[in-house]
Structure 1
Amino acid sequence: MKKFILPFLLLISSIAFGQDREQILKVLHTQQQAWNKGNIDEFMKGYWKSDSLMFIGSGGPKYGWQTTADNYKKHYPDKSAMGELSFNILQVKLLDKTNAFVLGGWKLKREKDQPGGYFTLLFRKINGEWKIVVDHTS
């Protein structure tokens, strides 16, 4: 009986990881769709709605969900400024049952330019939902 327990636990763990990975990817896909519709409020639903949310960009670390939303709206005031967003997810690594690391690239396709860069995200499972708690985007 003991020789069956470890493979069974590994199988269960693998299935759980697959489901968590898919949920995390769904958050990112939903964000991408919201962005491409010009809807920053919907895009922000992927973030932890907390004053402890950390966003690190070219201006250094900023804290808070509202601060992050306000910064997005300031820098991307309309659909033409937002452009068409695409992600290239390079890695999703489940750190434990409630934390995951994501590495990816982003690109905006706009009329006059195509900026892009990379991001690292720390996701946390909060009340059964995966949310971005730290975003470092360059």
Structure 2
Amino acid sequence: MKALLISILIMATTSTLTSFTMPKGDAVQEVKQALEGQIEAWNKGDLEKAMTFYWNSPEMLWISKSGTEKGYQEVYDMFLQDFTDRSKMGVYTYEPLHIEQVSKEAVYFVFRWKIELDGKRLMGGVSSQVWKKVNGRWVVTSEHAS
């Protein structure tokens, strides 16, 4: 009962916030820096480097309106097919909406994103990512992009 009351209080409090406040903590800051590194690589047209921020495992999961892809190589191949011409990758920007450390080695990050090319929006939406510390570095193990 006490846990339920605390959960309701937290939801009521957070639903009234008008702006996003970044939580403090090393893991949260490290994941935010990792996402910045991924976006920097993307904006340079370096898909290979941008992909290094995903977990190189057959268990890596990508979820979109088209369905799911499982496996690093399958997701990488999907990106290679969609962005054969690196000049069409555009400029990726994001706005954090929610981030929380869910365990010692896992962070949940939700953000609004968009990709623009020549000032025109190519795509965008909201993504939720699960970042885990694997072999000493933070990588996305699951992403839902919509």
TM-score, length basis structure 1: 0.83
Contact 1:91 1:104 in 2 (8 A): yes
Q: 1:76-124, CA deviations, whole angstroms, 9 ceiling, x for partnerless residues? A: 1223321000111111100010111100011111137302101000111
1:69-80 mapped onto 2 (5 Å cutoff): 69-80=76-87
| C-alpha separation in 2, matches of 1:73 and 1:88 | 25
Which residue in 1 is equivalent to 2:21? Answer: none
Which residue in 1 is equivalent to 2:139? Answer: 131
| C-alpha separation in 2, matches of 1:46 and 1:120 | 15
Provide the aligned length of Structure 1 versus Structure 2: 122
Larger proportion of helix: 1
Which residue in 2 is equivalent to 1:56? Answer: 63
| C-alpha separation in 1, matches of 2:77 and 2:98 | 28
Which blocks of at least 5 consecutive residues in structure 2 are unaligned? 1-23
Which blocks of at least 5 consecutive residues in structure 1 are unaligned? 1-16
1:29-68 mapped onto 2 (5 Å cutoff): 29-68=36-75
What is the RMSD of the two structures over their aligned residues, measured on CA atoms?
Answer: 1.3
Percent identity of equivalent pairs: 27
| C-alpha separation in 1, matches of 2:53 and 2:79 | 14
Q: Which amino acid in the other structure matches residue 66 of structure 1?
A: Q
Q: 1:47-77, CA deviations, whole angstroms, 9 ceiling, x for partnerless residues? A: 0000000001122111011111111111112
Name segments (4+ residues, structure 1) moved above 4 Å: none
Which residue in 1 is equivalent to 2:19? Answer: none
Q: Which amino acid in the other structure matches residue 97 of structure 2?
A: L
